[in-house]
């Protein structure tokens, strides 16, 4: 071996045939030397005998289906792989946690104690509570979506290669990708809720705090699933980003708070009902404002009215419906995850 050569590179040149002829890395042509040797000739004869012996036999197949191991073993192996991969991707995890802290502090300080219970409740406070909830939680979801999309773009290349080799079922991959995100999303939601909830002065009850935590977690999961579905269903990250931001704009425009449902033209009301942001804002706002029938609202035209009546008459929000908001958001998460897995299974943009 010549001085300064990488041993692995030198070995490939020696045994590869093509470069060993043109590059003077060795004093002889090793592939040709092996072919003419007694060992090479014996191996050629043995290979011909094996081919002749196995003529007419069934081709090699995997018993029990396409994959070499069962579904449970696939999930276990993929969980071990991606659990380590996520832990070894600190830039992704640092980014989303830093964004979470910044969003919570900025919104919490900007609307400090705006959600504190008052009787009568100023009209401006009601508008502010809805605004900060829709804006802060949505912004948290968007940052999570934008963070996951480049990661999926890199992983998609590996996924195509492993699918070509029939390593695992797309359903096993989709389940693991969903589960491996959950601990980080729980921690992210806990940090966000733990900072912004007391700063805004929201309801000082365990039930309301848990409800806020639950809905925020679901909305975070929804955006990550939505971004994953777009990345696997569309050709590239740039197009997925444009589509994601366009759809998110429509969700925010028709969420029913910026423009109350009653004020939306009849031919656009369907958009309000299919927007997941509608149910996030509905649940969180009505949970904070719609549970106390003795609370009154002031600063509006006409005689004072209770806050729950005002929420119902203006926005169509009913306190008893907040549990359904959780189920609707869960359905959106499952639908986007299903779309993501089906895209992995049936859509491929592999160029070769």
**Per-residue pLDDT at 10:** 75
**Per-residue pLDDT at 60:** 61
Residue 238 burial (10 A CB sphere; 0-12, 13-18, 19+):
exposed
- Tell me the percentage of the chain whose pLDDT exceeds 90: 45
**Per-residue pLDDT at 188:** 94
Token pair recorded at residue 299: 């600063």
**Per-residue pLDDT at 21:** 46
Does 159 have pLDDT greater than 90?
no
pLDDT per position as a tens digit, 293-350: 777 776 555 667 888 888 888 888 999 999 999 999 999 999 999 999 999 888 888 7
Q: Most distant CA pair in the chain: distance in Å?
A: 106
Angle value at C-alpha 65, between 59 and 71, nearest 5 degrees: 145
145 CB contacts (<8 Å, ≥6 apart)?
223, 224, 226, 227, 244
Q: Which of residues 22 and 112 earns the better pLDDT score? A: 112
172 CB contacts (<8 Å, ≥6 apart)?
71, 74, 75, 78
**Per-residue pLDDT at 186:** 94
DSSP string, 108-129: HHHTTTTTS--SSEEHHHHHHH
If pLDDT is split at 50, 70 and 90, which confidence band does 22 have?
A: very low
Whole-angstrom distance, CA of residue 81 vs CA of residue 60: 28
**Per-residue pLDDT at 218:** 95
Residue 191 DSSP label: H
pLDDT per position as a tens digit, 176-230: 988 998 999 999 999 999 999 999 999 889 999 999 999 999 999 999 999 999 9
Q: Answer whether 142's CB lies under 8 Å from 125's CB.
A: no
Q: Kind and range of the H or E element at 330?
A: helix 322-346
**Per-residue pLDDT at 299:** 59
Beta strands, E only, the chain:
121-122, 296-298, 305-306
Q: Which of 7-11, 137-141, 144-148 has the lowest mean pLDDT?
A: 7-11
Q: Name beta bridge partners: 297.
A: 121, 305
Phi/psi at 82 (5° precision): -80, -25
Mean pLDDT of 49-62: 74
Please count the CA atoms within 13 angstroms of the CA of 194 that sit on its side-chain side. 8
Does 42 have pLDDT greater than 70?
yes
211 CB contacts (<8 Å, ≥6 apart)?
283, 284, 287, 322, 326
pLDDT per position as a tens digit, 102-145: 999 999 999 898 888 777 777 778 888 888 998 999 999 999 99
pLDDT per position as a tens digit, 261-280: 888 999 999 999 999 999 99
């Amino acid at each position: 071996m010549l001085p300064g050569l990488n041993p692995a590179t030198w070995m490939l040149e020696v045994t590869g045939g093509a470069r060993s002829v043109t590059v003077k890395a060795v004093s002889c042509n090793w592939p040709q030397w092996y072919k003419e040797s007694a060992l090479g000739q014996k191996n050629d004869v043995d290979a011909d005998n094996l081919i002749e012996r196995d003529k007419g036999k069934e081709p090699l197949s995997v018993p029990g289906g396409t994959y070499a191991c069962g579904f449970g073993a696939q999930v276990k192996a993929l969980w071990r792989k991606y659990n380590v991969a996520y832990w070894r991707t600190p830039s992704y995890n640092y980014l989303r946690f830093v964004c979470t802290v910044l969003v919570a502090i900025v919104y919490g300080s900007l609307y400090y104690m705006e959600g504190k219970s008052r009787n009568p409740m100023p009209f401006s406070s009601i508008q502010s509570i809805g605004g900060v909830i829709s804006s802060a939680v949505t912004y948290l979801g968007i940052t999570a979506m934008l963070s996951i999309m480049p990661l999926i773009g890199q992983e998609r290349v590996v996924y195509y290669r492993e699918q070509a080799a029939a390593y695992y079922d797309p359903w096993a991959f989709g389940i693991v990708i969903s589960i491996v995100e959950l601990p980080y999303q729980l921690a992210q939601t806990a940090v966000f809720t733990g900072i912004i909830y007391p700063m805004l002065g929201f309801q000082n009850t365990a039930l309301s705090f848990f409800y806020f935590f639950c809905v925020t977690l679901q909305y975070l999961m929804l955006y990550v699933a939505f971004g994953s579905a777009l990345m696997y269903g569309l050709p590239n990250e740039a197009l997925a980003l444009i589509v994601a931001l366009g759809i998110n704009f429509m969700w925010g425009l028709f969420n029913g708070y910026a423009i109350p449902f009653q004020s939306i033209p009849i031919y656009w009301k369907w958009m309000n009902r299919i927007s997941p942001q509608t149910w996030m804002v509905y649940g969180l706002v009505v949970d904070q404002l719609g549970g106390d029938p003795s609370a009154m609202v002031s600063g509006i035209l006409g005689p004072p009215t209770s806050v729950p009546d005002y929420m119902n008459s203006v926005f169509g929000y009913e306190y008893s419906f907040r549990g359904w908001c959780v189920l609707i958001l869960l359905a959106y998460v499952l639908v986007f995850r299903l779309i993501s897995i089906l895209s992995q299974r049936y859509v491929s943009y592999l160029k070769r």
